[in-house]
Structure 1
Amino acid sequence: MACVAIIINTLLVGDVYLTGSGMLISFAFFLYVLGFFAGGDFKLISVLSLNIPIESVPGFIIDMFLIGGILSLLYLIKNKLMSNVGRGVPYGVAISLAYVLVQHSLVEAT
């Protein structure tokens, strides 16, 4: 779904941010190699980064990590209360919410 929205935005507006995209893809690949991200997280950031301007990259990364930290705490509490070991945190939720926050701030700025 995100791919379709970005393609439509690119065709209508023409905004593709290759510099910010390159930075985010490099950052996501580094985290993937270290084992912090799964392949799906890397692919999601690669697609969404095409629509994030370079001045919004730091905000996107900070938002992503803050939302991911809150999500991780919630999963930790859930696993402690239910006495089971989870598979991990679905970080795609944090990535998607950070993207929505960045896009919302861009829309408000215009």
Structure 2
Amino acid sequence: MLLLTCPHCGIDADETELAPGGEAHLTRHGPGATDDDFESYLFLRDNPRGVHLERWRHANGCGKWFIAARCTVSLEVFGTYPAQTARPPQHVLDAIEAKRPGATRKLPVMEGAR
């Protein structure tokens, strides 16, 4: 069972108390975007094997959204942080690098950050 810590209320919640929200840190195209751009934003996801950043809502708790960094293969959780954060905090990146060296460079949100 997947167990995530809500960064807002500090409660360790299992996945039955949470609502998944899909891939995190997506950038929505502006009003001048093409139909293809908008279709890509709505429907196309990378769905990588390995480290992934996902949105979750603490549905049966505080109700707030947060982001979890986890491995889609092993379900290992590297950390959680508030959804309003523009990129993963350093302690989450360090936890990922400690277990999966080089994995942070593959995260879409990290492109051009280093």
TM above 0.5: no
Would you tell me which structure has more helix in proportion to its own residues?
A: 1
TM-score, normalised via structure 1 length: 0.26
Structure whose residues are more often strand by fraction: 2
